Amino acid sequence: MQDNYASLIAQVRAQSPLVHHITNYVTVNDCANITLAIGASPVMADDIGEAADIAAIASALVLNMGTLNERTIASSLAAGKAANAKGVPIVFDPVGAGASRLRNETAARFVSELKLSVLRGNVSEIRCVAGLASSTRGVDASGADASDIDSVAQMAAALATRLGCVVVVSGEVDVIADGTRLLLIENGQIMLTSLTGTGCMCSSLVGSFCGAAGGDYFTAAAGAMLTMGAAGEIAFKNAGALGNGSFHGALHDAISRMDVPTLERMARYREG
């Protein structure tokens, strides 16, 4: 595989980076287990009394505003500022941005007060962060926002340039941009949309890869999103016909068994 997208899996498993999450209580268990499945080490410390201390010793910080409240807003900002001070990469998942004033204001604060390494969300969330009109349906993307892939790619590239970070837009085709490079990932399985938390798990994988990437967060984001897409395809083949519950378990299994040769064989992507 061109670049280093697949080989990062081996680095994650060898280094077992500590990935600090301040995430939502709907998907926290899946996020922790998917982090373990790829070979990283999760910690979920969201109290203001320790969030900054844990972030300062972590290899990556994942901030997810899925179940937003004032307590975790303060903890997230404290952790983010500690991570910035120590050079720890931050992955921000603006879950539900566009759905309420609190979410919009919080996303804007995170973007303005923290130096992000990766911003990952669905097209409606990313449009909101970019200051564009969006028609989000709660925490899900709206079909009205999923315009042609060229427009999504242009938006992602412009936002990446403005924020100075990698932008990942999840969708039928995942778009990854850093203002210079652009990657379109075609792996995935529609059944992933039938499980809550697959986006949150993507962010956990991005954080795990960032923790082992040595500063190349574009490659980290690509490796993580390729891993989730390929794992979804494997899980569907192995258990999709059995229903959501079996597919959920098979997804975790596929990620826990993902290796460099498998991802090299399965990866489908093109550079923009």
Q: DSSP for 221-263, please give it.
A: HHHHHHHHHHHHHHHHHHHGGG-HHHHHHHHHHHHHH--HHHH
Residue 3 in domain = no
- Domain of residue 55 covers 8-271
Residue 2 in domain = no
Residue 167 in domain = yes
Residue 160 in domain = yes
Q: Considering its fold, how many domains does the chain have in total? A: 1
Residue 185 in domain = yes
Which CATH number characterizes residue 168's domain? 3.40.1190.20
For the chain, list residues with pLDDT below 50.
Answer: 1-2, 138-142, 144-145
**Distance in angstroms (rounded) separating the CA atoms of residues 43 and 57:** 11
Report pTM.
0.93
Residue 1 in domain = no
Per-residue pLDDT tens over the stretch 31-83: 999 999 999 999 999 999 999 999 999 999 999 999 999 999 999 999 999 99
Residue 198 in domain = yes
Residue 222 in domain = yes
